[in-house]
Amino acid sequence: MKTQQHWEQVYATKSQNEVSWTQQVPEQSLSIIDGINVPQNSPIIDIGGGDSLLVDFLLDEGYTDLTVLDISAVAIDRAKNRLGLRADQVNWIVSDILDFEPDRDYAIWHDRATFHFLTESWQIKQYLKIVKKSIKKGHLIVGAFSENGPERCSGLPVQRYDVSSLSNIFENGFTVNTHFTADHTTPFNTIQNFLFIDFIKTN
């Protein structure tokens, strides 16, 4: 099955409580973004945002230039419906990240649990090319399963990372600002260990 079909089917058949990645409060992402302390009109993009509540919290905090990109149109529709009129304050992009052609710069690029589905080296290279084009001066936040995390998610294999393997991928262009691991408790009370790295663009 093609990547897009897979995700459309997931979002068409499963509720938020039936998928492992759901967070009622995206604490780790919010703590990193708040710590960066960019002006509230800075462009922020959530890659593979799905119907994550991150965008709701960022709107609540007063950020005014938010973009959510996801391969699944169903996921984006779910997020839009949830936000109601507030959805008009967000830029929505339905695209495979590997086909994304950014036409502007972002101050913060956030990716929780999407990058780790790229398991082939050409995919990682393509992601790196796009992310470098999208951030001139800014932050790249990646949250991926750690070396203690699961080997699969949503029925798909994932690449797990430690600080060194994840920072090596982005070393040409980004340096590590902060990193930490955190346990995510899924809606079914299992634990998934994530590694978060906040990178700063250097060249």
Ligand X SMILES: C[S@@+](CC[C@H](N)C(=O)[O-])C[C@H]1O[C@@H](n2cnc3c(N)ncnc32)[C@H](O)[C@@H]1O
Asked if 163 contacts 176 with a C-beta cutoff of 8 angstroms, the reply is yes
Give the one residue of 30, 59, 98, 176 binding ligand X; rule: CB under 6 A.
98
State yes or no: residue 7 binds ligand X (CB under 6 A): yes
Stretch that binds ligand X, among 36-44, 64-72, 77-85, 162-170 (CB under 6 A): 64-72
Residue 56 binds to ligand X (criterion: CB under 6 A): no
Residue 91 bridge partners (DSSP): 67
153 binds ligand X, rule: CB under 6 A: yes
Residues 6+ apart with CB under 8 A from 173: 128, 132, 201, 202, 203
- Using CB under 6 A as the binding rule, whether residue 130 contacts ligand X is answered as no
Q: Which amino acid is at 18?
A: E
Residue 72 binds to ligand X (criterion: CB under 6 A): yes
**Would the CA dihedral through 165, 169, 174, 178 be positive or negative?**
negative
Phi and psi, residue 170, nearest 5°: -105, 10
Counting beta carbons within 10 angstroms of the beta carbon of residue 153, is it exposed (0 to 12), middle (13 to 18) or buried (19 or more)? Answer: middle
Shortest CB 44 distance to ligand X, Å: 13
Options 31-39, 60-68, 94-102, 169-177: segment touching ligand X (CB under 6 A): 94-102
Query: In the complex, what is the shortest distance from the CB of residue 23 to ligand X, in angstroms, rounded to a whole number?
Result: 6
Binding of ligand X by 149 (CB under 6 A) = no
Does 67 help bind ligand X (rule: CB under 6 A)?
A: no
Binding mask 10-49 for ligand X (x = CB under 6 A): -----------x--------------------------xx
Compute the least distance from the CB of residue 128 to ligand X, in Å. 14
Helix (H) or strand (E) holding 69: strand 66-70
- Residue 52 as a binder of ligand X (CB under 6 A): the answer is yes
Q: How far is CA 157 from CA 93, 149, 160, in A?
A: 25, 12, 10
What would the DSSP string read from start to end of 145-193? EBTTS-SEETTEE---B-HHHHHHHTTTTEEEEEEEEEEEE-TTS-EEE
Counting residues that bind ligand X (by CB under 6 A) gives: 19
For ligand X, which is the closer residue by CB, 52 or 134? 52
Given the rule CB under 6 A, which residues bind ligand X?
3, 7, 21, 48-50, 52, 70-72, 75, 96-98, 112-114, 117, 153
